[in-house]
Chains A and B, each alone.
Chain A
Amino acid sequence: MGVTILTQFPTENRTGPHTIDVLSKRIMALGALQQGQFLVDCETYTSVPQLGPQRTVHVLHNSEQPATVFSLLETGTKTIPLATDGLFDLLMMKMSSFYTSKKQTKAESKGPRYEIGDFCVKLGTVTVSSNFKGILVEVEYRPCVVPAMCWDLLKEFLQGFLGLSGPTNPPAYLQNRMQEIYSPIDTIHQYLEHFTIFRKSPGIGMRA
């Protein structure tokens, strides 16, 4: 487990599959090898009115940590992360009289996963309730766990194959955690940030 940066790649006038195709050709040209597929998904539950002030639970899965369920509870003032075993999904079903999911909000990012030296690259097609929303590129630099120490390297790598669309600043979520030890829940936070933006965006995600 290293440091992961998640960034959106604009589709411009291309279709989703075409954009993935362009990016995968670029990364393969750099010498990357495809190592399977990946999937990150997110289901959002909101509290019933009887429970008082509304709270939201986001339940996420990442194929990189297949035995773990990640949850983020948003109370309006703070966000509490939780990592549990897979059976947490079963518990959410038990909670259906307290927390209900809106089926239209199921978000996922999936696609090919590549390895290139110390980097792991994932090209994700994002859908919200099966509607295409955009492309998310995930790059992990595996030998390092402190974002501040490898941000410049990651930025250079990202710009190397995303060109001008590569990020110039660390993701908002990481900006005040640059000196802390990175862990899988931080990747989950970044995915949730993007999924939230995609859910609000009307058509396919054209935001930079």
Chain B
Amino acid sequence: MSAPGTAMDSLSAALKCNIIPNQEYLLQGSVLDQYVEVLLHRLRGLCDNVDSGPESFHDHELCFTLRAGSGSGAPIVLPLRVRRALDVADAPFQLRYVGQQELGDKNRPTVVRSSIDMACSSTIVEFLTELGCRLDFEYIARGYMFRKGRMKITVSKIFKVAGNKPVETVEPISQSYLVELSVLAPSGQDAIGEDMRIFAEQLRPLVQLEKIDYKRLGSMM
């Protein structure tokens, strides 16, 4: 009987075969509150989960960063996000690393960024805090999730979380819904970007899904 290989061996094998979904392809947009029903109706018609209807979610997301000053120049920053379901009591927490978006080709139809996504135990918040992470901001997202093949479409309302206020009293951040179209896939599967572009076309003009450049957004504010 052969001995079990180490976990690191199987991880490097998985990395070598490129089967780890560590790239996120993303398009984002928004829709005003008064038109969200129309969009949901359209998505119900276009997406796979027709019979069961869309899946609803109600999540609390905490965004942390781990930072350390390097000897020279800008500090090294590692962003980490924790998501927990408020509507499913025993669901595992999700831990997620999201990298900088790849500059790459300007003609690429979607944002591409590295992503490591995993389920974890509820000790994660304390673990990250003690690890040296800083809580930058947090919010509550509530909405619907649709699927189309391996594409995921979420329509979510974002709420402010202020201190220790109870979850029921949170205020919406704006009068619109955030719409995201994303796929998590192993690197190099750029064909998916084209599928996403075509799908996004079908949602126009209700919602305009685009590559959002956060750096530019930051300087606009």
Contact = CB atoms under 8 A, between A and B. Distances in A.
A61 B132 contact: no
A158 to B, nearest CB: 24
B84 to A, nearest CB: 14
B218 interface: no
A138 interface: no
A91 B118 contact: yes
A52 B69 CA distance: 11
A87 B7 contact: no
Contact of A55 (B6, B119, B123, B131): B131
A69 interface: yes
Contacts of B15: 90
B2 A97 contact: no
B221 interface: no
Given A55-B130, A55-B131, A34 B116 contact: no
Contacts of A51: 66, 68, 132
Contacts of A82: 120-121, 123-124, 127
B159 interface: no
Contacts of A89: 7-8, 11
A44 interface: no
A98 B68 contact: yes
B3 A39 contact: yes
Interface in A17-72: 34, 36-39, 41, 47-48, 50-52, 55, 57, 61, 63, 66, 69, 71
Contacts of B118: 84-88, 91
Given A86-B7, A87-B116, A36 B1 contact: yes
Contacts of B119: 84-85
B20 interface: yes
A39 B11 contact: no
A94 B78 contact: yes
Interface stretch (A73-81, A170-178, A197-205): A73-81
Nearest to B99: A94
Interface string B51-79: 00000000000000010111000001010
| Interface footprint category on A | 35 or more
Contacts of B117: 87
A95 interface: yes
A208 interface: no
A83 interface: yes
A195 B153 CA distance: 46
Contact of B121 (A47, A50, A83): A83
Nearest to B14: A86
B95 interface: yes
A81 B123 contact: yes
Contacts of B121: 81-84
A80 B97 contact: no
B188 interface: no
Interface string B148-164: 00000000000000000
A133 interface: no
Contacts of A87: 20, 116-118
Nearest to A71: B127
30 contacts: A36-B4, A37-B2, A39-B4, A50-B69, A55-B130, A55-B132, A57-B131, A73-B127, A73-B130, A80-B127, A81-B121, A82-B120, A82-B121, A83-B120, A84-B118, A86-B11, A87-B20, A87-B116, A90-B22, A90-B116, A91-B95, A91-B97, A91-B116, A94-B97, A94-B116, A95-B66, A97-B68, A97-B76, A97-B78, A98-B66
Interface of A: 34, 36-39, 41, 47-48, 50-52, 55, 57, 61, 63, 66, 69, 71, 73, 75, 78, 80-91, 94-95, 97-98, 108, 110
